[in-house]
Amino acid sequence: MSLNIIFMGTPEFSVPTLRSLIDAGHKVRAVYTQPPRPGGRRGLDLQKSPVHQAAELLGLPVFTPVNFKDPDERQRFRDLEADVAVVVAYGLLLPEAILTGTRLGCYNGHASLLPRWRGAAPIQRAIMAGDAKTGMMVMKMDKGLDTGPVALTREVEIGDTMTSGELHDRLMLVGAKAMAEAMNKLELDELPLTAQPSEGVLYAAKIDKAETRVNFGEPAADVHNHIRGLSPFPGAWFEAEIAGRPERIKVLGSELAEGNGAPGKVLTDDLVIACASGAIRPTKLQKAGGKPLAAADFLRGTPIAPGILLASEQA
């Protein structure tokens, strides 16, 4: 026995779950993903999503609707006669006609410990808030934003220096295994559902470019969490005067350091930077158009002298 599944996902994060469902013996009737977007060096080529590419390699039918407002799109979904839809980072809000368009409904793999960090950027927000743990949850979807009952939870610790990229890769694999386990239990009618608590709700708003500038006017722990929460993308940054002109420098890794001074003041040759309290040391840096470099390598080519005061206000 196996379930007939419609899979709905778009980025690289979703691909291991698609593969895990097939490896578990389930039949994927079709894959839904975001339409191809402009990409390439000049942004002129249409590029298929990672899920789209994986589905084609697996020989699976792929559909890329812009939305589900068209009655014909909704009917095509129902005509697949799937037992269940599995959704992982699809990127579209699903109307009730889709949520109820399969025999057993839609199940979502969400990268947080709900109800904490509902919404678009749970991985980044958990790190930026200094959370010690997060996880993957399999949830039965309803009309709300990540409000449905939870079927399965897998917790993951967040290390003190872990970046959002590293946590993304860990949760990607944990989530794939968890969803396959959940669908196996669903097939046996052994998947319990538990309503989310009403307390502890937090929303993980999409990362805005305006919040990517490092604010050294915050305590060192908050600056460190901000940096690692935005690494590797979009990347936190500060501005320093290099060769007589201001230049934006991304900080892709950091650690807490000893030192005190005016917020934004460079304290040492190895770029210990004072914060409102305490200090941080960047461990990986990148200039615009350059490659990410370990801080020691970066500073050999682009020294930033002690005593310089880096701007601490938000852009």
Question: pLDDT at position 43, please?
Answer: 67
Tokens standing for residue 79 = 């005509």
191 is in an annotated binding site: no
112 is in an annotated binding site: yes
192 is in an annotated binding site: no
Averaged pLDDT, 6-24: 98
Question: pLDDT at position 25, please?
Answer: 97
Question: pLDDT at position 164, please?
Answer: 98
User: What's the pLDDT tens digit per position in 208-267?
Assistant: 999 999 999 999 999 999 999 999 999 999 999 888 889 999 999 999 999 999 999 999
What is the value of pTM for the model shown? 0.94
Question: pLDDT at position 314, please?
Answer: 47
Pick the CATH number of 4-203 from 3.30.420.40, 3.40.50.170, 2.60.40.2550, 1.10.1060.10: 3.40.50.170
Comparing 31-45, 188-202, 235-249, 267-281, the range with the smallest average pLDDT is 31-45
113 is in an annotated binding site: yes
User: What's the pLDDT tens digit per position in 196-210?
Assistant: 999 999 999 999 999
Q: What residue ranges do the domains of the chain occupy? A: 4-203, 209-301
- Report domain 209-301's class: alpha beta
User: What's the pLDDT tens digit per position in 41-91?
Assistant: 666 789 999 999 999 999 999 999 999 999 999 999 999 999 999 999 999
Averaged pLDDT, 24-33: 98
4-203 matches 209-301 in fold: no
For the chain, give the percent of residues with pLDDT over 70.
97
